[in-house]
Amino acid sequence: MRLLVLALVVLNLLLFAWSRGWLPAPGAGGAASAREPQRLERQVRPDAVRLVVDPTPAPPTAGADAAASAVEPGGAAVCLEAGPFDVAEAERTERALALLPAGSWRRVDANGGVMLRVDAADASIRAQLQALGAGGLTAGFGPCAAR
């Protein structure tokens, strides 16, 4: 029994050392510092590879700035949502949203908690959300996810 435990410990140590690169791979045949040189040799025209950067900025991920930037062409109303919140966070944010016009937002129960949604946020509602977000009250409003 002790011999079996000792053998397993030694095998675990060898596997750990091999996974960290401290031991050469089986059949590597020497040079431990050169990892997979055959791949470098098989590259076809590596000088032709160019990194192309997309000039359009990535969409905002969260925060009141996301609500301010979610503007459709012509300033049309857009759908904005925040969450998921736990119950305490949702109630705190709902109290802040009480400053918005009645019926302009709604509570949506989601799998991981509560989502707060503004289905038609025009320019004035977006400005109010941005002002509330500057005070840290409603951070997280962004474009509605497709459902």
User: What pLDDT, in 10s, does the model give residues 73-122?
Assistant: 556 778 888 777 777 887 888 888 777 787 888 888 877 777 788 877 78
User: Per the confidence metrics, is the pTM higher than 0.75?
Assistant: no
The DSSP H or E segment spanning 18 is helix 2-19
- Confidence tier at 12 by pLDDT (50, 70, 90): very high
- Confidence tier at 35 by pLDDT (50, 70, 90): low
More confident residue, 137 or 82: 82
Q: What is the pLDDT of residue 120?
A: 79
Whose CA is closest to 83, among 36, 11, 145? 145
Most confident of the ranges 14-23, 24-33, 64-73: 14-23
Q: What is the pLDDT of residue 54?
A: 62
- The alpha-carbon radius of gyration of the chain (Å, integer) is 28
Query: What average pLDDT does the chain have?
Result: 74
Lookup: tokens for 74: 């012509």
Q: What is the pLDDT of residue 70?
A: 47
Query: Backbone dihedral region of 45: left (phi > 0), alpha (psi from -120 to 50 degrees) or beta?
Result: left
**Cα–Cα distance between 65 and 37 in angstroms, integer?**
48
**Cα–Cα distance between 88 and 138 in angstroms, integer?**
13
Question: What are the residue ranges of helices labelled H in 20-145?
Answer: 37-42, 64-69, 87-97, 123-134
